[in-house]
Amino acid sequence: MVVPNDPQLERPLQPKDGTAGIERPRALFESLPEDPRPLMSLSSRHVVSSRQFDRDTLLQVFRLAAQFESTPALLHPPLAGKILISAFYEPSTRTRLSFESAWHRLGGDIMSITDPKSTGMAKGESLSDIAEMFNNYGDVIVLRNSEAGSIYEMLDSLRIPIINAGNGIDEHPTQAMADVYAMLKWRPELARPDLPAAERIRIGIIGVPSRMRTVRSLLLLLTLFSSSVEEVVILSREDDLFDEGQREELAGAGLNIRVATDLDGELPGLDVVYINAIAWVGDTFEAMGMDMRLTPDSPLKEGAIILHPLARGEELSTDLDKTPHNWYFAQARGAVFIRMALLTCMVRRISEVMDTPDPSRA
């Protein structure tokens, strides 16, 4: 065998860093009291919007995710014999692969669509007919589609649950769950409803709430933790940052939102910096906000964490990867366990996979 003379081949693989071990999820798991009842409400339900979730349900999803993350291998994979239809009609790295990784770890089987041209859609088949077919072939669907309305067109025909894995400009609720899960692993006390004012955090979001589905869904979930969030600063120089009524809805739900344009002026006061540069413009994705970049020279607060939910472009320097600010890899890793928790609750009765008996069956 000829071995190329590349020093990378001699280098031992690096151990996981502190954000990828089991200590943080274990600490989060231990900090959250168990209450299986909210999880039962997820059984056989669709997940389309962050609006469907309340704080108690989210915290129990996070608790179960943390349990999965701190348990290296499942003795009894709960979804053996179940089939996931993974339908991605738009490119994806993180979402598709983390859903499929989650499903494999749960012991299930997968049918994956990665190109709409390989389905009847290319021949003009309607979404409701495709949904009708899905009913016969799987137990749950994960759908990524560029059209905001597509998932809603399928709901009437579906008899199995569907998860919105990104519908155009609209929402990406499970990404937002992974975002908040990362924040709670970083600071488990953020789950407390009575966090003292001095411990509340300030979150900067570099992005456009009206055109970025991840930002839209994250802001909706943050309303459930507004007692732990001193302020959300939207950093952008774009016009039309909010849809009509969007900012008012968030403020009405208790989120303290401010808009700013001076990134370096704001960074020293931010505990979490969430950066997202991919936005919908017309009917296609574009990089947006490239005038706001994070580099090792950015005046980040000591201890601040960076989250980045999507494919990276020049907005986030790779030179930050080896700094303690990098929580974006942990964020992507945690998405696997969030999706394991959610899928388990949607497809199996939670009482079948937890130690605590179902109180409704007592």
**Residue ranges binding ligand CP (CB under 6 A):** 92-95, 166, 172, 175, 309-311
Angle in degrees, CA 70, 41, 158, rounded to 5: 105
CB of 122 to ligand CP, least distance (A): 22
CA distance 72 to 145: 32
Residue showing tokens 């499929």: 100
Cα-Cα-Cα-Cα dihedral sign, residues 257, 258, 260, 266: negative
Query: CA 251 to CA 254: how far, in whole Å?
Result: 5
How far apart, in whole angstroms, are the C-alpha atoms of residue 348 and residue 177? 20
Which residue's CB is nearer to ligand CP, number 172 or number 202? 172
- What are 233's strand-pairing partners? 204, 258
- Label the pairing between strands 140-145 and 109-113: unpaired
* CB of 144 vs ligand CP, minimal distance in Å: 7
- In angstroms, what is the minimal distance from the CB of 361 to ligand CP? 37
DSSP secondary structure code for residue 326 in this structure = B
- For the bound state, the minimum distance from the C-beta of residue 326 to ligand CP, rounded and expressed in Å, comes to 16
- Choose between 188 and 309: whose C-beta lies nearer to ligand CP: 309
Q: Which is nearer to ligand CP, 142 or 263 (CB)?
A: 142
Q: Which is nearer to ligand CP, 177 or 255 (CB)?
A: 177
CB 214 within 8 A of CB 283: no
**Contact by Cβ (8 Å): 273, 267:** yes
Of the pair 37, 94, the CB lying nearest ligand CP is at 94
CB of 172 to ligand CP, least distance (A): 6
Tell me the β-bridge partners of 287: 278
Q: What DSSP designation does 269 have? A: G
Specify the residue, 140 or 310, whose C-beta has the smaller distance to ligand CP. 310
Least Å distance, CB 339 to ligand CP, is 11
Closer residue to ligand CP in complex, CB, 93/323: 93
Nearest approach, Cβ of 293 to ligand CP (angstroms)?
19
Question: In this complex, which beta carbon is closest to ligand CP, that of residue 86 or of residue 223?
Answer: 86
Phi, psi angle pair for 298, to nearest 5°: -65, 140
C-alpha separations of 15 from 9, 60, 161, 299 in Å: 16, 30, 38, 29
Q: Closest distance between ligand CP and the C-beta of residue 92, in Å?
A: 3
Q: Could you tell me if 225 and 256 are in contact, meaning their C-beta atoms sit under 8 angstroms apart?
A: no
Query: Which H/E stretch holds residue 11?
Result: none
